[in-house]
Amino acid sequence: MNPTDLSVAALSGATVLYAIAMVTYAIRLARVADDKVAAKAMAREAVAVGGGTPAAPSAPAASASSRGARAAKAAGIARSTTLVGALLHAVGLAARGIDAGHVPWSNMYEYTISGSFFAVLVYLIVQRKRDIAYLGAGVTGFAAVSLGLALTVLYKDVDTLPPALQSYWLVIHVSIATLVTGIFAVSFIATSLQLMRDYREQGELPVEGGAVQVAWRRWHNTLVRRYRRTRWLEAVPPAAQLEALSFRLNAVGFVLWTFTVMAGAIWAEHAWGRYWGWDPKEVWSFVIWVLYAAYLHARTTQGWAGRRSAWLAIAGFTALIMNFTVVNLFFQGLHTYAGS
Pick the closer one to other proteins by CB: 69 or 255.
Answer: 255
Half-sphere exposure for 248 (CA within 13 Å, toward CB): 12
- Contacts of 334 by beta carbon, 8 Å cutoff, 6+ apart: 164, 272, 277, 279, 281
Q: Does 256 bind ligand HEM (CB under 6 A)?
A: no
Greatest Cα pair distance, the chain, in angstroms, is 81
Question: Using CB atoms within 10 A of its CB, is residue 87 exposed (0-12), middle (13-18) or buried (19+)?
Answer: middle
| The binder of other proteins chosen from 55, 153, 159, 231 (CB under 8 A) | 159
Distance from C-alpha of 260 to C-alpha of 247, rounded to nearest angstrom? 19
The span from the CA of 162 to the CA of 271, in Å, is 12
Q: Does 16 bind ligand HEM (CB under 6 A)?
A: no
- CB closer to other proteins out of 34 and 279: 279
Which range touches other proteins (CB under 8 A), out of 61-69, 71-79, 134-142, 267-275? Answer: 267-275
Instruction: Let me know the angle formed at the C-alpha of 120 by 267 and 293, rounded to the nearest 5 degrees.
Output: 50
Site string for other proteins, 216-255 (x = CB under 8 A): ------------------------xx-xxx-xx--x--xx
Contact 334, 279 (CB under 8 A): yes
Interface of this chain with other proteins, residues 273 to 332, rule: CB under 8 A = 273-275, 277-280, 283-284, 286-287, 290-291, 293-294, 296-298, 300-304, 312, 319, 327, 331-332
Instruction: Return the residue of 225, 270, 274, 297 that touches ligand HEM, per CB under 6 A.
Output: 297
Q: What is the DSSP string of 274-318?
A: -S----HHHHHHHHHHHHHHHHHHHHTSTTTTTHHHHHHHHHHHH
CB 186 → ligand HEM: shortest distance, Å?
20
CB of 129 to ligand HEM, least distance (A): 22
Q: What is the DSSP letter of 101?
A: T
State the binding partner of 280 from ligand HEM, other proteins, none, CB within 5 to 8 A by kind. Answer: other proteins
CA distances from 181 to 42, 44, 339 (A): 43, 44, 17
98 binds, among other proteins, ligand HEM, none (CB under 5 to 8 A by kind): none
Which residues contact residue 282 at a Cβ distance below 8 angstroms, ignoring those fewer than 6 apart? 264, 268, 276
Judged by CB under 6 A, the number of residues near ligand HEM is 4
Return the H-helix or E-strand segment holding 116. Answer: helix 108-129
Least distance from C-beta 205 to other proteins, angstroms?
A: 22
Stretch (H or E) spanning 82: helix 59-100
Query: Does the protein bind ligand HEM through residue 302 (CB under 6 A)?
Result: no
The Cα–Cα gap between 82 and 276 comes to: 40
Stretch that binds ligand HEM, among 127-135, 188-196, 213-221, 294-302 (CB under 6 A): 294-302
> Please, what is the minimum distance in Å from the beta carbon of residue 299 to ligand HEM?
7
Q: Any residues with CB less than 8 A from the CB of 115 and at least 6 apart, and which?
A: 146, 178, 181, 182, 185, 324
Is residue 171 a contact residue for other proteins (CB under 8 A)? no
169 or 289: CB nearest ligand HEM? 289
Q: Is 300 in the site for ligand HEM (CB under 6 A)?
A: yes
Beta carbon of residue 203, minimum distance to other proteins (angstroms, whole number): 22
| HSE-up of residue 230 (Cα within 13 Å, Cβ side) | 19
Contact footprint for ligand HEM (CB under 6 A): 293, 296-297, 300
Contact footprint for other proteins (CB under 8 A): 129-130, 159-160, 162-164, 166-167, 169, 240-241, 243-245, 247-248, 251, 254-255, 258-259, 262, 265-266, 269-275, 277-280, 283-284, 286-287, 290-291, 293-294, 296-298, 300-304, 312, 319, 327, 331-333
